A = this chain, B = another copy of it.
Amino acid sequence: MAMVDISSKPEVFREATATGTIKLNTKTIRLIKDGKIAKGDPIYTAKIAGILAAKKTSTLIPLCHPLPLTNVEVEIEVLDKSTMQITSTVKTKAQTGVEMEALVATAISLLTIWDMVKQYEKNVKGQYPFTAIENIRVVKKIKEGVVGERKRKKT
């Protein structure tokens, strides 16, 4: 077991975008839209949590290299009445790609949304019968001029 040795790879511009969705009760989505979540704004909190998490990727994923990220952006939108979607884009000039950083930002942002709306998603037994995080994917990876993009599919 070992990190990939990137010592002799050139430093080039890299960018990666990852998305994911969270299923919430219709009522919860409405409360988010109306700015009525008691613990605070789930969208803003999730964005910050995602950006901070991207910067911690190499301490969370054992074999990731520490990279000098030059940009992290997390976007959150309501897809339909029971789904929110998060899209994280990370950039660097480095010897390896940043898809793991984009994925970590997306996953931690989605989990932060969950944490912010826990009280509305739990049933009387304290369980979460409906809430689910789905379809975390890498939708774009760029390596110095070579652009690849894949149609985003929804499950």
Given contacts A51-B3, A128-B138, is CB(A63)–CB(B91) below 8 Å? no
Question: Could you say how many copies of this chain the assembly holds?
Answer: 6
B137 and A135: CB pair below 8 A?
no
Expressed in whole angstroms, the Cα–Cα distance for A107 and B53 within the complex equals 13
B114 and A103: CB pair below 8 A?
yes
Say yes or no for A79: interface residue by CB 8 A criterion: no
Within the complex, what minimum Cβ distance (angstroms) separates A69 from chain B?
A: 6
Expressed in whole angstroms, the Cα–Cα distance for A58 and B51 within the complex equals 10
Q: Mark A45-78, 1 if CB is under 8 A from B, else 0.
A: 1011101110110111111111111111110000
A69-110, CB < 8 A from B: 69-74, 91-95, 97, 99-100, 103-104, 107-108, 110
14 contacts between A and B (CB under 8 A): A1-B44, A1-B47, A2-B39, A6-B70, A7-B91, A51-B63, A61-B111, A62-B115, A63-B115, A68-B68, A103-B133, A128-B150, A132-B135, A134-B136
